[in-house]
Structure 1
Amino acid sequence: MGDQLDHHPTPLGNWLEDLFHKLFYQPDDGICKKAMEEEMSSQLKVCINGQYMPREGFDQAIIQTRCTYNIRVHSSRELLASPDATDKSTASVAHIQTFTLEDKKTGTQRTQTSLTICVIAFSDGKKQLIELMEIMQDH
Structure 2
Amino acid sequence: MEGQLDHHPTPLGNWLEDLFAKLFYQPDDEICKKAMKEEMSPQLKVCINGQHVPREGFDQVITEARRTYNISVQNSRELLASPDATDKGIGSVAHIQTFTLEDKKTGNQRKQTSLTISVIAFSDGGKQLIELVEIVLDH
TM-score (norm 2): 0.95
Alpha-carbon deviation of 1:125? 4.7
| Runs of 5+ unmatched residues, structure 2 | none
1:4 maps onto 2:4 in alignment: yes
Query: Matches of residues 1-139 of structure 1 in structure 2 within 5 Å?
Result: 2-86=2-86, 88=88, 90-123=90-123, 125-139=125-139
2:84·2:90 contact (CA, 8 Å) conserved in 1?
yes
Alpha-carbon deviation of 1:123? 3.0
Supply the RMSD in Å over aligned alpha carbons.
Answer: 1.3
CA deviations 1:53-103 (Å, max 9, x no partner) are: 100000000000000000111000100000111463641000000000000
Residues 3, 86 of structure 1: CA spacing in aligned structure 2 closer, same or farther, 3 A cutoff?
closer
Identical-residue share of aligned pairs (%): 81
Equivalent residue letter for 1:54: P
Alpha-carbon deviation of 1:124? 5.3
Whole-Å separation in 2 of the counterparts to 1:23 and 1:84:
24
| Runs of 5+ unmatched residues, structure 1 | none
1:88·1:122 contact (CA, 8 Å) conserved in 2?
no
Whole-Å separation in 2 of the counterparts to 1:44 and 1:125:
15
